[in-house]
């Protein structure tokens, strides 16, 4: 269910709403290096992939937990060759960028300053404490916020109806109470909500050729009950 376009992207209207800086930069293909930070499940990786598709850039993903300097240098060299041969920019996406040490971050600096590759770093940590100031000064920092209940509900309904990527080929009787529960209990983490929905739909026995998705199924799928005050 990962969005492929900005129209499919849910939430983050403070960044992607009409006239906002990031949406203008994407539309005009004037993306500079970015650092996206926020809680899990708010769309950091998704936003990076959507930006690459909207700007017709090559998407090169690395994970700071497993990558080393040699892999970083290779990705940068490939980006230079790609631009020379195809005239195509590269978006170098580094997940968990706060896990890079100072030496690894310094390797990025000269080429990031020249604009190819375009760095998009994702982190759950405050970048002003975890990323070197020289790299921050060359990047725009955007904070992604947890999705609200209405936004998560819309993503869940889209997943239930999508026959290509979602659960649209399965007949599901979704109770409103179950939908409200999942929208609220996942604390703005849309990945967690989608995982619970998929688990509940695919493991619940069918009744008369359809899955009856109740509040109890929702609680079991997300392994968390509503707190009663």
Q: What is the pLDDT of residues 85-140, one digit of tens each?
A: 999 999 999 999 988 888 888 888 888 888 889 999 999 999 988 888 888 888 88
Residue range 186-207, pLDDT digits in tens: 888 999 999 999 999 999 888 8
Own/partner pairs, 67-73, CB within 8 angstroms, 24+ separation: 67/94, 67/104, 68/104, 69/103, 69/104, 69/107, 72/104, 72/107, 72/108, 73/107
Q: What is the pLDDT of residue 141?
A: 92
- List, for residues 148-181, the tens digit of each pLDDT value: 999 999 999 999 999 999 998 999 899 999 999 9
Spatial CB neighbours of 54, under 8 Å, sequence gap ≥ 6: 5, 6, 26, 27
pLDDT value of residue 78: 93
Nearest CA among 186, 179, 183, 189 for reference residue 214: 179
Residues above pLDDT 90, as percent of the chain: 49
- Tell me the C-alpha distance between 135 and 130, whole Å: 11
Q: Which has the higher per-residue pLDDT, 51 or 208?
A: 51
The pLDDT, as a whole number, for residue 221 is 87
pLDDT in the model for residue 224:
62
Give the burial string for 151-176 (b: 16+ CB within 10 Å, else e): bbbebbebbbeeeeebbeeeebebee
CB-CB contact of 93 with 120 (8 Å): yes
- pLDDT tens digits along 22-37: 888 888 888 888 999 9
Residue 229 has pLDDT above 50, yes or no: no
Give the pLDDT confidence score for residue 225 in this predicted structure.
Answer: 52
State the pLDDT confidence band at 68, using cuts at 50, 70 and 90.
Answer: confident
Mean pLDDT of the chain: 89
d(CA 193, CA 173): 17
Residue with tokens 């939430």: 11
pLDDT bin (cut points 50, 70, 90) of residue 11 is confident
Q: Is the peptide bond before 169 cis (omega within 30 degrees of 0)?
A: no
Spatial separation of the C-alpha atoms in residues 220 and 210, rounded to whole Å? 19
Terminal-residue alpha carbon distance, the chain: 35
Please name the residue that has the structure tokens 């195509």: 88
Give the integer Cα–Cα distance in Å for 36 and 155.
21
pLDDT at 74: 92
Confirm if 133 and 25 have CB atoms less than 8 A apart: no
| Residue 135, pLDDT score | 86
């Amino acid at each position: 269910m990962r969005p492929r376009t900005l129209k499919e992207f849910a939430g983050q209207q403070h960044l992607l709403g009409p006239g906002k800086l990031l949406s203008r930069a994407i539309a005009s293909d004037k993306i500079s290096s970015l650092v996206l930070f926020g809680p899990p499940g708010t769309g950091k990786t998704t936003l990076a992939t959507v930006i690459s598709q909207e700007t017709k850039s090559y998407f090169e993903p690395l994970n700071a937990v497993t990558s080393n300097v040699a892999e970083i240098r290779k990705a940068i060299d490939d980006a230079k060759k790609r631009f020379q041969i195809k005239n195509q920019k590269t978006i170098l996406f580094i997940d968990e960028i706060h896990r890079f040490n100072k030496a690894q971050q310094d390797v990025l600096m000269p080429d990031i300053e020249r604009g190819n590759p375009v760095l998009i770093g994702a982190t759950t940590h405050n970048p002003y404490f975890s990323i070197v100031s020289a790299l921050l000064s060359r990047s725009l920092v955007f904070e992604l916020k947890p999705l609200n209940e209405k936004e998560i509900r819309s993503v869940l309904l889209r997943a239930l109806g999508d026959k290509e990527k979602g659960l649209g080929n399965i007949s599901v009787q979704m109770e409103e109470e179950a939908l409200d529960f999942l929208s609220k209990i996942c604390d703005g983490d849309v990945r967690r909500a989608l995982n619970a929905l998929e688990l509940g739909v695919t493991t619940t026995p069918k009744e008369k050729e359809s899955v009856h998705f109740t509040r109890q199924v929702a609680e079991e799928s997300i392994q968390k009950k509503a707190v009663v005050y």
